[in-house]
Structure 1
């Protein structure tokens, strides 16, 4: 059985660190925690779980801090988490089984990162990350803000997931990330396609939509770069245009994403919603149906938003079929949405409304 070093960087994480470590400490053989300048009880809490607590002055570069944490590992493999991550019980079992059965010739094991969850326990944002790495390969982190590992070799995709679970009082990090990019600009650093994509995301999330569009366009203008980033640059740019009330450019941006690959459910639902807002119910329904028909790709590494192939298009189809007068199909789609979000107020409202309609209209005509 292989051995595992858990490596973490922390700063002022007293609200989450113990919760994180409680879910993983008994599954690893060593815990290395690098503190970058905490002013609360983070270090005290860390020392309850391990003596291997190290101090590293914050340089403004996450990659440098993460590489420092990796440098303290001594076991066969390195596993990393952030302090506001947890392993859910089913994933603890999966990791335990993986550790017992892993072929030591594997260089990296990718795992899902459940970066967002809704109040009903549904994953809202998921993507893969290299998560368990053979130490002797000496893989390094790169990037000031949105870091990545430069990994090559024998890679295995697993179904284990690490789940992000911030406390309610967690401060937003949008301003922090924006400042890192703005410092790069002030220094005159060159931007990679990845930088333009993530800088666009930060601008969009901070409400600077026109600037975000400009950053996404710079990503798309470069031949280099990950094709999935370009797909999502188009999708996110469309969101900016929708907020700016430019419906024509919104649709153009969504269709532009099709130049880079197979349509994603999030693209299809947005096209559906474009026609939904125009009350073109049959056209909107077509696009929502296509989103439902898209099957998840186990090996997809880029951002995945499961809502767009599950409850969301069903809920929107309920509305479309209601206005087309097909109350039975509206009911069926509402009930499908309810399987994912049983207490959703929209689902409950639709159910009550459709019960009265179906009682009044026992026979419906297919749309």
Structure 2
């Protein structure tokens, strides 16, 4: 069986590090912990799991820290996690099965799902694929001071295994923006990928005009991953809504259509634009497209599973209700309920439609 080195960078993670490391015991043959300046019990906790704990002076460069951690790994494959990541029991079983198969399949890069958003019940509602296991070689190199990544190489496979990012606390909310602005002072410009993520950080900091400007500049560049470009269109629209410019918001969304078959998330955004304008039949069209697009576009980029069924069906229910077409409204509520059985919203809608039927009977009598 292949050997796997878990390589992590940490700082002040005493609340979550033990939880994370306990999740992968038995999967990781070697645990490498690189501490970038903790002042709490993080290193003490790390030493309770491994004796391979190293110090690395933080210099606002995530790739440098991760590459240092990778340099210490000796396994056939290098595996990374953040300290606030969690692997649930069923996913652990899948990981162990993957480990047994790696001997025969020998991929260079294994992409796993990474959940970073959750619904009201705590179930993953937003995920994307990330390079998670990499064959130890000269190509397994992190790039990017912020939002760092390893460019996939060789034989790349995807596995239906979910790693969940379960953050505790806020950390330093200004760190990423601070690093980007330092990069701008040093270089005068950013790479296309960094430009995209810089726009996202400005958006998170509610600097909506600045963010929209950065997204617009990014979309004018010839390079850039299609999924990032679509997401930039969506977030550009959100910026416009925040400053009260719905028309420019629509222009951002429509520019996303130039990237190819629209993803369900973009279709839902277009549906919402028309819905909020009271144009319910136009909204129904786009929500219907969201359902169809989910069958065509796969799971590249950022995925919100509820945009592939539950949300568009529920919104179509509301649209038909506003149009006075209650049988159609009831039908789409039931379709939404099939996507997420037992939701309070669908149950309340059922009561609403039952009450409406009773009122209609009383009116007839």
TM-score range, shorter chain: over 0.9
Aligned position for 2:317: 318
Aligned position for 2:83: 83
Change over 3 Å in CA distance of 1:203–1:136 after alignment to 2: same
Spell out the pairing of 1:40-55 with structure 2 (5 A cutoff).
40-55=40-55
Whether 1:146 aligns to 2:141 is: no
Q: Residue 162 of structure 2 aligns to a residue in which SS?
A: strand
Spell out the pairing of 1:138-217 with structure 2 (5 A cutoff).
138-167=139-168, 170-171=169-170, 173-217=172-216
CA distance in 2, matches of 1:104, 1:267: 36
Give me the CA root mean square deviation: 1.9
Q: Residue 164 of structure 2 aligns to a residue in which SS?
A: strand
TM-score scaled to structure 2, two decimals? 0.93
CA distance in 2, matches of 1:78, 1:30: 10
Question: Is residue 110–residue 132 contact of structure 2 (8 Å, CA) maintained in 1?
Answer: yes
What is the aligned length?
A: 360
**Stretch moving more, 170-179 or 30-39:** 170-179
Aligned position for 1:112: 113
Q: Residue 40 of structure 2 aligns to a residue in which SS?
A: coil
**Stretch moving more, 143-152 or 297-306:** 297-306
Deviations 1:267-300 (A, max 9, x none): 1111111111121211111111111222267864
Spell out the pairing of 1:228-239 with structure 2 (5 A cutoff).
228-239=227-238
Deviations 1:226-250 (A, max 9, x none): 1221111111111111222212111
Aligned position for 2:66: 66
Change over 3 Å in CA distance of 1:341–1:78 after alignment to 2: same
Q: Residue 182 of structure 1 aligns to a residue in which SS?
A: helix
Q: 1:205 Cα shift?
A: 1.2
Q: 1:346 Cα shift?
A: 3.6
Change over 3 Å in CA distance of 1:283–1:173 after alignment to 2: farther
Change over 3 Å in CA distance of 1:138–1:52 after alignment to 2: farther
Spell out the pairing of 1:276-315 with structure 2 (5 A cutoff).
276-295=275-294, 300-315=299-314
Question: Is residue 139–residue 153 contact of structure 2 (8 Å, CA) maintained in 1?
Answer: no
**Stretch moving more, 180-189 or 250-259:** 180-189
Deviations 1:30-73 (A, max 9, x none): 11111111111111111111111111111111111111111110
CA distance in 2, matches of 1:325, 1:293: 25
Q: Residue 157 of structure 2 aligns to a residue in which SS?
A: strand
Question: Is residue 231–residue 261 contact of structure 1 (8 Å, CA) maintained in 2?
Answer: no
Deviations 1:155-202 (A, max 9, x none): 1111112111112xx115541111111111222343111111100001
**Stretch moving more, 41-50 or 113-122:** 113-122
CA distance in 2, matches of 1:341, 1:174: 33
Q: 1:351 Cα shift?
A: 2.8
Spell out the pairing of 1:6-17 with structure 2 (5 A cutoff).
6-17=6-17
Question: Is residue 328–residue 358 contact of structure 1 (8 Å, CA) maintained in 2?
Answer: no
Whether 1:350 aligns to 2:340 is: no
CA distance in 2, matches of 1:298, 1:27: 32
CA distance in 1, matches of 2:110, 2:233: 30
Question: Is residue 31–residue 50 contact of structure 1 (8 Å, CA) maintained in 2?
Answer: yes
Question: Is residue 109–residue 155 contact of structure 1 (8 Å, CA) maintained in 2?
Answer: yes
Q: Provide structure 1 residue ranges, at least 5 long, that are not aligned to the other structure.
A: 363-367
Q: Residue 60 of structure 1 aligns to a residue in which SS?
A: coil
Spell out the pairing of 1:124-143 with structure 2 (5 A cutoff).
124-143=125-144
TM-score scaled to structure 1, two decimals? 0.93
Q: Provide structure 2 residue ranges, at least 5 long, that are not aligned to the other structure.
A: none
